[in-house]
Amino acid sequence: MNFNLNQFYKFCSKLQIETKEQGLRNLDNLLGTQTYVMDEIAQGLKDNIHFFVILKGRQLGITTISLALDLYWHYINNGLNGTLVTDTEENRDMFKGTLTAYMDGLPKEYKIPILSHNRNSLALKNRSRIFYQVAGLRAKGSLGRGKGITFLHGTETSSWGDEEGLASLLASLAETNEKRLYIFESTARGFNMFHDMYVTAKRARSQHAIFCGWWRNQLYSVPGDSNLYKVYWDGKLTSEEKEWTRDIKKLYNVEINSRQMAWWRWKLYEGIKDDALMYQEFPPTEDYAFIMTGTSFFSNARCTDAMKVAKQIKCDHYRYSMGANFIDTEVLKSTDRMATLNIWEEPIDTAFYVIGADPAYGSSDWADRFCIQVFRCYADGMEQVAEFATPEMNTYQFAWVIAHLAGAYKNSTLNLEVNGPGQAVINELRNLKRQAAALGGKTGHQLMDVLGSMSNYIWRRNDTMGGLSNSIGWLTTAASKERMLSYMKDYFERGMMTITSTELIDEMKTIVRDGGSILASGRNKDDRVMATALACAAYAEQLQPRLIAQKITRNVSRTQEDSTPEQIVVGRTVSDYLKRIGVYGQ
């Protein structure tokens, strides 16, 4: 569907709006932020995308131009059912007043007669209607019920407290109507429903995420001959400013000039007065927008750097197809949206690996996904090579995936979370060994190879003087959780850990220290982080000392592989490993 921008901008030029700076004025001299967002929406509609999630900074005019689009869309499309959803009743009444002012100021030839206009809806003579709804700051679950919606404008979505209501609202949206248009726009307020929506839109094929930075607003600049410019521009960027101005150039192909930098510093020092809030209210890039309550456990700067690298690394996507028995297991090539297993580096027989495995509800009541992290290990660091994550699995199937990955990635040390369902996983791994022994013959021996190629982490209590307990795996307590997450933090921030999963880095951003606890903020998940921390604990306490003694560093390992490629099993991939060892397909 094409969106005639010139026609829309002509419509906007006839609208009047009350502003603090200029009083009543026509909406004709649009900001760069406003035209950018409308351009993105127009291009999306041309590409058959009808669902937009807009992450914005403060005072960029996005709500103002979106309200103009609300009215315009209902004027040009007869019989349209739309809804304007605000966070509070106060904002509903204010935006209702804005729409009233828009309509009152229109020339006669542009107007469509109003049938009714109250705090619940606006009804037009062309049979189009805009419903006013309030999401509220607390859960209600009533949004969208009983309405077939073909147009939606949700504003300040990050403040909505009604997750059930949002699900109901999304369920009411038309999916095939060519006139449909759905817009959610908001500033960031930490890791909440809006953050999840934005991340989903970035990865989706039928949605479009739009980031609108403050630097697109031409008013956010000070004159080069002003006192503010002389005070706040000293001719040199700080190291942090250099970082995000480089990011803006790389990501958006925009050069930040000295007048904009002077405005930024003035706003920070005389207005916001808090670095974290400045990044939330006026984010340079989308990665700076979302901040958390509590103290971030992992450095935001390091997470941002790691994300830049991870986005450039490609991986292969797979999913498991499970049968009634282990021998029926298959690993199938998949799309990135359907994948449960991502592989960045195929197994190398001469390498050493550590595997962290956290079953659903193992490390916490909020961890509802089964997760496995595989890292290749050296004396001087770790590199992520595989990740498995899914909420849809049984404990015995999780044991099969562990057995498969540990068999494919030989010389592996497994650290399994044994709280709750972890014991059932251990029992199934033992059952596999018994089944392999009972089968005998070729298949039995090769199944034994799968299980025999991994060693188990033996849980050691710190208060046990030099000894080992007889517990296999890891028992998470407040103290042991702090221990393993501290290992992970140290390796990550010292640059010893290479992370290739963007989903893992997203989770790391949400981990905070709140009082005496380390946990995911709000409603966020920590499954990938916990599985990685399990891998780090096994590496630190069991595998790294051996690799240091054997001097197996990154450079030594890579040099040996380059000089003796015959030691590497070329062509052995995770996807065909079960076939190769003869476990199925016989």
pLDDT digits (tens, 9 = 90+) for 185-239: 999 887 778 988 998 999 899 999 999 999 999 999 999 999 999 999 999 999 8
Question: What's the pLDDT at 232?
Answer: 96
Q: Are residues 198 and 320 in the same domain?
A: no
Average pLDDT over the chain reads 86
pLDDT at 581 over 80: no
In a domain, 142, yes or no: yes
Q: Are residues 43 and 167 in the same domain?
A: yes
Contact present, 136 and 161 (Cβ < 8 Å): yes
Summarised one tens digit per residue, pLDDT across range 363-404 is 666 568 999 999 999 999 999 999 999 998 999 999 999 988
Of 187, 212, 237, at which residue does a domain stop? 212
pLDDT at 571 over 50: no
Question: What's the pLDDT at 432?
Answer: 83
| Alpha-carbon dihedral sign for residues 559, 303, 503, 397 | positive
Question: What's the pLDDT at 586?
Answer: 33
Question: What's the pLDDT at 41?
Answer: 97
Question: What's the pLDDT at 459?
Answer: 60
In a domain, 204, yes or no: yes
* Per-state percent for the chain, helix, strand, coil, to nearest 5: 45, 20, 35
In a domain, 362, yes or no: yes
Summarised one tens digit per residue, pLDDT across range 2-23 is 799 999 999 999 988 765 554 5
In a domain, 118, yes or no: yes
CA distance 40 to 3: 11
In a domain, 66, yes or no: yes
Q: Are residues 71 and 182 in the same domain?
A: yes
pLDDT grade for 444, boundaries at 50, 70 and 90: very low
Q: Are residues 423 and 554 in the same domain?
A: yes
Structure pTM? 0.74
pLDDT at 460 over 90: no
In a domain, 294, yes or no: no
In a domain, 296, yes or no: no
CA distance 190 to 221: 27
Distance of CA 186 to the CA centre of its chain: 16
DSSP string, 3-38: --HHHHHHHHHT-EEEETTTEEEETTS--HHHHHHH
Summarised one tens digit per residue, pLDDT across range 323-362 is 888 878 888 999 887 899 999 999 998 899 999 999 988 6
CATH, residue 105: 3.40.50.300
Of 186, 212, 238, at which residue does a domain stop? 212
DSSP annotation of 256: P
Q: Are residues 76 and 197 in the same domain?
A: yes
Instruction: Give how many domains the chain has, as a whole number.
Output: 2
Q: Which backbone phi and psi does 341 adopt, to 5 degrees?
A: -125, 125
Residue range of the domain that includes 22: 5-212
The amino acid at 7: Q
Of 212, 241, 259, at which residue does a domain stop? 212
Summarised one tens digit per residue, pLDDT across range 169-194 is 888 898 999 999 999 999 988 777 89
Question: What's the pLDDT at 367?
Answer: 63
Q: Are residues 10 and 142 in the same domain?
A: yes
CATH, residue 391: 3.30.420
CA distance 61 to 77: 24
Which residues, 6+ apart, have CB-to-CB distance to 467 below 8 Å?
A: 460
In a domain, 305, yes or no: no
